[in-house]
Amino acid sequence: MKIVITGAAGFLGQRLARKLLQRGTLSGPTGAQERIDQIVLLDVVPALGFEDPRVLVIAGDIANPAVVRQAIDGNVLSVFHLAAVVSAQAESDFDLGMRVNVDAARLVLEACRSGGCKPRLLFTSSVAVYGGELPEIATDATALNPRSSYGVQKAIGELLLLDYTRKGFVDGRVARLPTVSVRPGRPNRAASSFASGIIRVPLNGEEAICPVASTLRLWLLSPRRAIECLIGLHDASDDALGANRIINLPGVSVSVGEMVGALSAIGGDAAVRRIRWERDDAVERIVGSWPAAWDTSRAKALGLAGDSSFEAIIRAYVEDDMR
């Protein structure tokens, strides 16, 4: 089978591609595992470091209809649509956010629809679709009140994917991701970038800035578990999923103070001292509008597992990314 990953040069995209190449199979249209013959890696910059003959790299603008049609032709059976402009960037460049998070999502949906073989389309969404006055544990019945352009754009993508699925144009699944931490590499332009930075940077011996109060609670998932959940949700059967195709992935709910405590257990006081506390209202406003936890029963029923603790998340980072 032929599959496509958008945003494939990004951190999650690369990791997903590696994992799929290693697995070698994915659930096909009948529900049985099928051999992956080709993975198209689409991103605005080329996804580097893949020597596998099954990989086709396409570098191009995801908001360009011709590029999307080139990547998602009538033979594609599965699409992982990860390409996005992240939260702080979508807030500062409204038009770019609309172009990538809304217009490009529509192009992907239309390319899947016009292919005619009703591909599985896994779309990543975010804690940022929630906002405003939230119950302690958000649920499927909780109104979305996104307080950022990113959250609005992701909520629009969700609505479209559900409607395209209901109409039978695609077989869509939405993975609502907690904040993914600990991300390796350089900071990105997500408002939640610090949730990785305050762990990664001090462990690497450098100084990190924490822009929020230590009491702020976050809802976190490790990259390792996030990738497993994306593949697991892709492979879930129609019957197991039911009509509601939006799945809130599992997370761990921790305060920033508790995160620092876990850092201390692994990196010692020296690591903790490398955090400089410097409040940033814009970051705090966005991240503070997100839920600190949500109901994960549907994810669990599908066999999608989160992390056991934030300390386990840091240990996974050390294992996967610090060597």
Catalytic residues: 150
User: Which residues on adjacent β-strands are paired with residue 123?
Assistant: 81, 174
Binding mask of the shown chain, residues 87 to 126, with x at each position contacting a second copy by CB under 8 A: -------x--------------------------------
Q: Cα–Cα distances in Å, from 142 out to 17, 146, 153, 291?
A: 33, 12, 18, 11
Q: Give residues 162-181 in contact with a second copy (rule: CB under 8 A).
A: 162-163, 166-167
| Shortest reach from residue 83's CB to a second copy, in Å | 20
Handedness of CA 43, 108, 249, 3 (dihedral sign): negative
Planar angle of CA 50, 12, 28, nearest 5 degrees:
75
Nearer to a second copy, 189 or 285 (CB): 285
Nearer to a second copy, 3 or 152 (CB): 152
| Candidate list 149, 179, 193, 296; residue touching a second copy; CB under 8 A | 149
| Shortest reach from residue 152's CB to a second copy, in Å | 4
Which span sits near a second copy by CB under 8 A: 28-36, 148-156, 218-226, 228-236? 148-156
Nearer to a second copy, 133 or 269 (CB): 133
Nearer to a second copy, 226 or 292 (CB): 292
**Burial annotation 141-154 (CB, 10 A radius, 16+ → b, else e):** ebebebbbbbbbbb
Q: Is 140 in the site for a second copy (CB under 8 A)?
A: yes
Write a three-state SS string for 236-304.
CCHHHHCCCCEEECCCEEEEHHHHHHHHHHHHHHHHHHCEEECCCHHHHHHHHCCCCCECCHHHHHCCC
How many Cα atoms are found within 13 Å in the side-chain-facing hemisphere of 270?
Answer: 6
Q: Which residues touch 315 (CB under 8 Å, ≥6 apart)?
A: 266
**What is the spatial distance between Cα 60 and Cα 72, in angstroms, rounded to a whole number?**
13
Q: Is 144 in the site for a second copy (CB under 8 A)?
A: yes
Q: Is 56 in the site for a second copy (CB under 8 A)?
A: no
Phi, psi of 122 (to 5 degrees): -95, 120
Which residue carries 């591909």 as its tokens?
Answer: 119
Nearer to a second copy, 146 or 197 (CB): 146
Nearer to a second copy, 100 or 195 (CB): 100
Q: Is 160 in the site for a second copy (CB under 8 A)?
A: yes
Q: Is 159 in the site for a second copy (CB under 8 A)?
A: yes
| Shortest reach from residue 147's CB to a second copy, in Å | 7
Nearer to a second copy, 55 or 144 (CB): 144
Q: Is 37 in the site for a second copy (CB under 8 A)?
A: no
Q: Is 6 in the site for a second copy (CB under 8 A)?
A: no
* Cα Rg of the chain (Å, integer): 19
Which span sits near a second copy by CB under 8 A: 51-59, 79-87, 135-143, 228-236? 135-143
Q: Is 247 in the site for a second copy (CB under 8 A)?
A: no
Q: Count CB-CB contacts under 10 A for residue 237.
A: 9
| Candidate list 33, 38, 70, 142; residue touching a second copy; CB under 8 A | 142
**What is the spatial distance between Cα 162 and Cα 144, in angstroms, rounded to a whole number?**
15
Which of helix, strand or coil describes residue 59? strand
Q: Is 189 in the site for a second copy (CB under 8 A)?
A: no
Q: Give residues 225-244 in contact with a second copy (rule: CB under 8 A).
A: 244
Footprint of a second copy (CB under 8 A) = 94, 132-133, 140-147, 149, 152, 155-156, 159-160, 162-163, 166-167, 244
